[in-house]
Amino acid sequence: MSLNRNSNPSKANNQIKADIGLFEFVALMALMTSLVALSIDAVLPALSQIGVDLDITDPRQTHLIVSLFFFGMAFGQLYYGPLSDDKGRRYAIISGLIVFAIGSLVCIYAESLELMLIGRVIQAFGVSGPRIATLAVIRDKYEGEAMARVMSFIMMVFILVPMLAPSFGQAILFWFSWQYIFSSFLVFGLLTGIWFFIRQPETLPKEKRLPFSWLQLWQSSKFILTHKLVMFYTLSSGIIFGAFLAYISSSQTLFQHVYDTGDLFPVYFALLAFSIGFASFINGTLVIRLGMRTLCTWAMLGWLLFSGILTVLCFVHQGVPPFLQFVAVLFCAFFCIGIMFGNINAMAMQPLGKMAGLGAAIIGSLSSLVSVPTALFVGSFIESTITPIALGFLGFGVLSFVLYWNATKS
């Protein structure tokens, strides 16, 4: 398997000679990017046990353990984006993994919900380093079609993580306590960090680094935040992701308490995660032929259709539709959201040109800051029915579509 790498001779001269091969590079980058999904999804089966051990009386409060993770990422991305351009990719990744480890230790020894949430925010802030800098490493090493191909290989590995992480967490709970799930994050981050430190050279030479400047940050941020098209797409993405995040945060409650699926929860969660991964694969095969806007528009309309169907089912069945109907409708809706996510973020990035690095950090951060309150609002109504999720999908889906449509007309 071979790819055409960036052939810039000055860049090649600044790289360490012992560069790693494509297979190892893809595996390493996939593990780096999967830290986020692992940190979120592996915890889901343990939320009830964490709630009992930390004396949490309202199950909805355990949803914060997932939701506030994205709050930490919102600020982490803003920090590590400019840092990786200033200090280099290796510095951002290694320092981020150290902060991630500190957050994991706080979670392991947490004896209250407040301390657990502090640990999760620290975890999320730290894992933003590998998440942002890994994308920069890929962009440094590959460009054009080669980069697109490498990203597709990485996504093939990455898609497996949301499918398998809840089963991984469930397996740990079968033998040990929930603290061992956070211990596994420590081990996973440590081994991945050592592998990266030993094998992957720095991809951003010193002469190409951009010293941090508050003035430049302010000017670039002002341009991005006042760009109507970028903001419409970003807010649209954040709102629709917030509705989806409400599902992720409450998925353990929905499957194990409302539908009483017991230990089969990871299986159903994996099935629905597969829908998103399959949509990403289909999107990759169609986007060049049909275009991002066409696919995203049809996906938005599909999301509204299936959200409407789920809402009707909830009203017909007193808030708890038959389980197979519930899973089938979510599978279709999540297929639509799998098409949406990649395309709408790419469209938001299109006008930013040379500000792509800072743009990615601001867009990712703002999207997270919008999605967390949305998820918390929807999650606050979830008790023993699916209706809040259905109404959240539909209501915020309509708002997201209005913003998206305004962007297409800008």
The structure's pTM equals 0.77
| pLDDT value at residue 369 | 84
Tell me the CB-side half-sphere exposure of residue 372, using CA atoms within 13 A. 18
| pLDDT value at residue 362 | 80
Average pLDDT over residues 176-187: 94
Average pLDDT over residues 273-288: 80
DSSP string, 139-163: HHH--HHHHHHHHHHHHHHHTHHHH
**Tokens describing residue 238:** 């954040």
180 pLDDT above the threshold of 70? yes
pLDDT tens-digit map of 123-158: 999 999 998 888 778 777 776 556 656 666 676 666
Kindly tell me the burial class for residue 318, based on how many C-beta atoms sit within 10 Å of its own C-beta (0-12, 13-18, 19 or more).
exposed
- Reduce the DSSP state of residue 4 to 3 states and report it: coil
Of 188 and 138, the structure prediction assigns the larger pLDDT to 188
Average pLDDT over residues 76-80: 87
- Indicate if the alpha-carbon torsion angle 303, 309, 310, 311 is positive or negative: positive
Average pLDDT over residues 307-324: 94
Average pLDDT over residues 210-237: 82
Q: Is the separation of the CB atoms in 20 and 200 below 8 Å?
A: yes
| pLDDT value at residue 19 | 66
Residue of 127, 107, 133 lying closest to 46 (CA atoms): 107
Distance CA 31, CA 29 (A): 5
Of 289 and 55, the structure prediction assigns the larger pLDDT to 55
Of 12 and 375, the structure prediction assigns the larger pLDDT to 375
Which of the residue ranges 192-201, 270-279, 323-332 has the most confident prediction, judged by mean pLDDT?
323-332
356 pLDDT above the threshold of 60? no
Distance CA 74, CA 368 (A): 5
Distance CA 338, CA 389 (A): 18
